[in-house]
Chains A and B, each alone.
Chain A
Amino acid sequence: MKRTIALAAGMAMGAGMALADMVAPADVTFGDYGDVEQSLTGVPGDPEAGREVMVSKSIGNCVSCHAAEDYADVPFHGEVGPALDGIGEYRTEAELRGILVNAKMTFPESVMPAFYKVEGFTRPGNAYTGKAAEGPLDPLLTAQQIEDVVAYLMTLTD
């Protein structure tokens, strides 16, 4: 019994801490050029997990618009957006985080979706069902997934 209580307390504390450090979509602060300095979670990103997010159709699906040598093993690279080779050299972490959170803050009119935004859409749907969304939307990627992708992109150096 004592143990369970301790455990529960520990879990509550863990959740509390994560929440305290996590920046909600509405609370993200952008710099003048659409960059986002502050980590969304305070937890360093995992590049491996970030790669997975980018190439998985069911998660980030970045590959449908962006090619990169590093994931050449994944078939069908799109060409709607630029190839991302070497992006870790000419973009800072803050710039990349900003582009992922809401690319339109960096590139007005961009066709790149905002991956960490939950409001301000026209006829938002319930995922890909074609039906209306029920209740508040989740962002396309979680805060940690954004951090993971940023970490992965930083490894793409020539």
Chain B
Amino acid sequence: MTLTTFKTAVCGLALLAAPLAASAEDLVVNGEIEMITEAEPAAHLDGALPTVRSGWTFRSSETQQLQMDDFENPAMIDVDNGMAAWNAAEGAEGKSCADCHGAMDESMEMVRATYPKWNEEAGEVRNIQMQIDDCRVNQMGAEPYGVDSRPMLAMEAAISSVGRGQVVDVAVDGPAAETWEMGKELYYTRFGQLELSCASCHELNYDNYIRADHLSQGQINGFPTYRLKNARLNGTHSRFRGCIRDTRAETFSVGSPEFVALELYVASRGNGLTVEGPAVRN
């Protein structure tokens, strides 16, 4: 190692440490849940990002405020609906989620921070929505909610809400590795007639404006997110679909294996941030 590279390395480290300590904005929800909105990137990011930043840090202070107090967060109505559904018996078995899982804030506390996750029995990586509908169909004998449907997003928001403040830590190795690699490949593929990959916007250009939009890193720790633009909860896959559509490409469908893999990969880029869902975005 020459002297110059050594210096750069030292400088790099110093620079990296400084903003984390000094400039990190504070997101504390309800005056008690302390969020990590800037984190050191995980090793599997291989230096792709100097700092991992929550989408919250890119939003205007008005939008940020809405997420700091559950009385102002418009998604909390859906969370209430999700909680009610948790306790309601449904389907041929006459069971509720609570009958098997007990109190949501205990049994589901770590779910949002660790999903998508390998399911040994099924032999596949599952996101939360797949698991919810699996329980509805196979445990309760009920109709599936369907990907990104309103009741599904309400349930997912409720499950996220009890995991707020937990540090995102999805596994990228072991049996999930193959799916993760597929997600990574998709992340760097330049889709459509505009030939843009997720990285074109969310890795190379975050913090820049593209027209009126302040580009974030496209993290998903805040999902499902309440968007002021359409005044409702939005699912991760619907967001992916919108972003790919905007490259003049043929998108994948919500719930597709491609989007599950992409979800795992994107979630892993946010390892080290805290669960914020349901977050508020514009």
Residue positions of A touching B, CB distance < 8 A: 57, 61, 63-65, 75-80, 111, 113-114, 121-133, 137, 140
Contact = CB atoms under 8 A, between A and B. Distances in A.
B250 A65 contact: no
B211 A63 contact: yes
B208 A111 contact: no
Nearest to A138: B193
Interface stretch (B98-106, B116-124, B128-136, B194-202): B194-202
B211 A122 contact: no
B205 interface: yes
Given A76-B211, A111-B201, A121-B249, 12 more contacts: A64-B211, A78-B208, A78-B209, A78-B210, A111-B200, A113-B194, A114-B195, A121-B191, A123-B192, A125-B193, A125-B251, A128-B246
Given A111-B196, A140-B193, A124 B211 contact: no
Contact of A125 (B204, B205, B208, B249): B249
Q: State the 4 A-B residue pairs at the shortest beta-carbon distance, nearest first.
A: A64-B211, A130-B245, A132-B250, A76-B212
A20 to B, nearest CB: 27
A75 B201 CA distance: 21
B149 interface: no
A123 B204 contact: no
Given A130-B244, A130-B250, A132-B250, A122 B192 contact: yes
B255 to A, nearest CB: 15
27 contacts: A57-B211, A64-B210, A65-B210, A75-B212, A77-B209, A78-B211, A79-B208, A80-B210, A80-B215, A121-B191, A121-B193, A121-B195, A122-B190, A122-B192, A122-B249, A123-B249, A123-B251, A124-B248, A124-B250, A125-B192, A125-B245, A125-B249, A125-B251, A130-B241, A130-B250, A131-B250, A133-B193
B282 interface: no
Nearest to B246: A128
B60 interface: no
Contacts of A127: 248
Chain A interface helix/strand/loop/mixed: loop
Interface string B157-198: 000000000000000000000000000000001111111100
Contacts, number: 80
A128 B250 contact: no
Contacts of A57: 211
Nearest to A129: B245
B245 A122 contact: no
A129 B204 CA distance: 26
A131 B253 CA distance: 10
Contacts of A126: 250
Contacts of B192: 121-125
A127 B192 CA distance: 9
B239 to A, nearest CB: 13
A130 B208 contact: no
B193 A80 contact: no
Given A78-B210, A121-B193, A111 B250 contact: no
Contacts of B246: 128
A61 B244 CA distance: 18
Interface string B220-252: 000000000000000000000100111111110
A61 B210 CA distance: 11
Contacts of B205: 80, 111
A79 B200 contact: no
A7 B241 CA distance: 50
A76 B209 contact: yes
Contacts of B204: 111
A131 B58 CA distance: 30
